[in-house]
Every structure is written in C-alpha cells, then in structure tokens.
Amino acid sequence: MQQEKKVLFVCLGNICRSPMAEGIFKKKVEEAGLSNQFVIDSCGTTGQHSGELPDYRARKIAQKNQVQLDHVARKFTKKDFTDFDLIIAMDTQNLFEIQRIAQPGQLEKVKLMMEFSDQFPAQRNVYDPYYDSEEKFEEVFDLLNSCSSNLLQSLIQNNHESSI
C-alpha cells in the first residue's frame, strides 16, 4: 500500500457483526503481511452496548476459527468520517444512520459490506443474528469471512492500479 488505509466496520450494537468483521479482516491483513499498512476498527450506530466485549456467541465462533475478538464496543461519531478512509456498514439501516449525519462529500467513503459479496450479489444486508441462534452466528461469520477476503483483494488491487 502506498498509504496507510483506515477501515471502519459499522453495525447497530457493535457486539456481533462489526467486531466479527473487524477481527476477521485483521487476521486476513496480518496473513497478507500488511498489518503495518492498515488501521482497522469497528463501532455501532447506537451506544447501548458501549464498553462491552463482543457477544459470547461471536466470541465462541471466532475462537473456533482462531480469530481474535478483543474489541470494546463504542458508538459511531462524526469524527469517524475524518478518521477513516473507508466506512463499511453491515446493513441498510446502519447505512441510513451514517448517511443521516454525514456532511456533503463524506458519503463516498461509505459502503455496504455486501458490495464485497460474490455469493449473494443481490443481497444488501448482513443478517443481524442477535435475536437468533448460534448457527446463525456461524452463517454470518462465514459470510463476513468471504466478504473480507474480497474487500482485501479489492483494496490491494485498487492500490496497485493507482500506483501504475
């Protein structure tokens, strides 16, 4: 990477989907030997779980897959628009909440995680597993894993193209 890339994953509570995405993406970046070129974080559009560790079901599936989840939940703030280059929302509700407080010109850096899915190109939302089963958490983990691989590939490719 020519420049450090700052990526922020956003969901509603910041205890299920976005911390899983953060942990998975961090592991992929580490495996690619690119850790020193990325800043990776996550947050929620609400602060109702601020200060909490990820949900125990997210931690369980992460541990099974050797993904570290040590994030402490926090709420999205306007400052995140300036602190991050890429803001990735888990679903359209999160996207709407982010769009609501964006200043003109800040929306270009906001994307949906499902834009990086090659399995479900028509789907816009990463399912919210909070009120669902442990099996759903596993499904969501697999989806985030696949989206994260494509996201990293896309960032590596874009960087390569912009340096030609």
For binding to ligand 4NP (CB under 6 A), which residues are involved? 11-17, 44, 48-49, 128, 130
Half-sphere exposure for 131 (CA within 13 Å, toward CB): 1
User: Alpha-carbon distance 6 to 119, whole Å?
Assistant: 26
CB of 119 to ligand 4NP, least distance (A): 19
CB of 159 to ligand 4NP, least distance (A): 29
Q: Which is nearer to ligand 4NP, 6 or 75 (CB)?
A: 75
Task: Tell me the H-state helices in the chain.
Answer: 17-31, 56-64, 79-83, 92-100, 134-162
Q: Which is nearer to ligand 4NP, 11 or 155 (CB)?
A: 11
- Indicate which residue of 55, 80, 91, 128 is catalytic: 128
- Indicate which residue of 11, 16, 43, 147 is catalytic: 11
Phi, psi of 136 (to 5 degrees): -65, -40
Catalytic site includes residue 17: yes
Catalytic site includes residue 59: no
CB of 45 to ligand 4NP, least distance (A): 8
Residue whose CB is nearest to ligand 4NP in the complex, by number: 13
For residue 75, the 8-state DSSP code is B
The tokens describing 113, both together, are 């995680």
Q: Which is nearer to ligand 4NP, 13 or 29 (CB)?
A: 13
- Indicate which residue of 17, 43, 59, 80 is catalytic: 17
Q: Which is nearer to ligand 4NP, 13 or 23 (CB)?
A: 13
Place of tokens 């964006």: 102
CB of 97 to ligand 4NP, least distance (A): 11
Contacts for 92 with CB less than 8 Å, ≥ 6 apart: 112, 124, 125
Inter-residue contact 73 to 95 (CB < 8 Å): no
Catalytic residue IDs: 11, 17, 128
